[in-house]
Amino acid sequence: MVTRALYLVGLTGGLASGKSTVAALLSAAGFPVVDADKVGHELLGRATGPLREQVLALLGRKVLDEQGAIDRKRVAAAVFADGEVRRKLEAILHPAIGEQVRKQAWELTEAGHRVVVLEVPLLFEVGWDTLMDLNVVVDCPPDVQSERFVGRGGTGLDAERRMASQMSRDKRLARADVVLDNSRTHQHLEAEVRRLVAILREKEGQLGKRA
C-alpha cells in the first residue's frame, strides 16, 4: 500500500465487537493506529468542493447542521435506513478516505515505524484486506454485539440495521488471518491482544526496530 518496509495490519470486526478497545491496547503497546472511521468523520465534517457537492446531491441539505457543516450523525441516520444510499455514499467517500489513510501510513513509515495498524470497520467489504499483510478480526456473537450497542445508548433496531449493513460473521471469520475473541471479560481480551502483540513484535524485529 505504501512500502514493503512496512507491515500493515488490517483491524476489523462487527458492530460493537471491541475494535476500538483492541486498537487502544495495540497503541499502548507501541503500534500506531490509523482509524479509517475517524478519517471519514473528519473528511465529512470539513468537506468542501466536489466532495461536499456529491454528498449533498445524494443526501440533501437535511444532513447540514445549523452552521452549514455536514453533520455525521444526520448522515448516519439517512444512510442506515437505506442500503442503496449507504453504498452510494461509500463510493463517494472511500477513495478520499483511502488517500488520507495512505498519507498517514506513509508519514508513520517516514517516522521510523515498521508495523502500522489500520482500523477499518468495512475492511473486507471495500476490498482493503488485499492490501494488508495481516488481517485481524475482533469477534463476538451477534447477541453480545447488540447488547453492547444498546448499552452505549443505541437501540435494538439500529443495531440490527447496522449489523445487516456489514459482512456476515461467518464470512468475516473465514477471511481473517487472526481472530481475537471478545465474547468474555476484558482480561480475556487483553490476553488475546498479547498473543497478537507477540506476532507483531516478531515481524517488527524482522523489519528492523523503529528509529
204 to each of 6, 20, 125, how far by Cα in Å?
9, 22, 28
Is the pLDDT at 60 greater than 50? The verdict is yes
97 to each of 34, 73, 166, 184, how far by Cα in Å?
11, 18, 18, 33
* Mean pLDDT of the 30-55 span: 93
- Give the torsion sign (CA, 190, 18, 2, 109): negative
The total of other beta-carbon atoms located within 10 Å of residue 2's CB is: 18
Read off the pTM.
0.90
What are the pLDDT digits (tens) for 184-211? Answer: 999 999 999 999 999 999 999 888 754 4
Sheet holding 134-139, edge to edge: 33-35, 115-119, 7-13, 134-139, 178-181
As given in the structure block, the three cell numbers for residue 133 are 499483510
Backbone region of residue 33 per phi and psi (left: phi > 0; alpha: psi in -120 to 50; beta: other values): beta
Is the pLDDT at 82 greater than 90? The verdict is no
As given in the structure block, the three cell numbers for residue 65 are 447542521
Tell me the domains of the chain and their CATH numbers. Answer: 7-207 (3.40.50.300)
Is the pLDDT at 1 greater than 70? The verdict is no
